[in-house]
Amino acid sequence: MILDINGIQSILPHRYPFLLVDAVEEMERWKRIVGIKNVTINEHYFQGHFPGKPIMPGVLIIEALAQAGGLLLLQEVPDREKKLLYFVAIDNARFRRPVVPGDQLRLEVTVAAWRNTFCKLQGRATVAGELAAEATLMCKMVDREMPLTPVAANDPAAKAQ
Q: Among all residues, which ones are annotated catalytic? A: 49
For residues 114 and 145, give the distance between their C-alpha atoms in angstroms, rounded to a whole number.
Answer: 22
**Residue 85: helix, strand or coil by DSSP?**
strand
Task: Give the count of beta carbons closer than 10 Å to the beta carbon of residue 39.
Answer: 23
Q: Return the SS3 of 112.
A: strand
Quote the CA–CA distance of 141 and 84 in Å, as a whole number: 6
DSSP secondary structure letter of residue 3: B
What is the strand order of the sheet 23-28 is part of? 23-28, 32-38, 104-115, 118-127, 130-143, 83-95
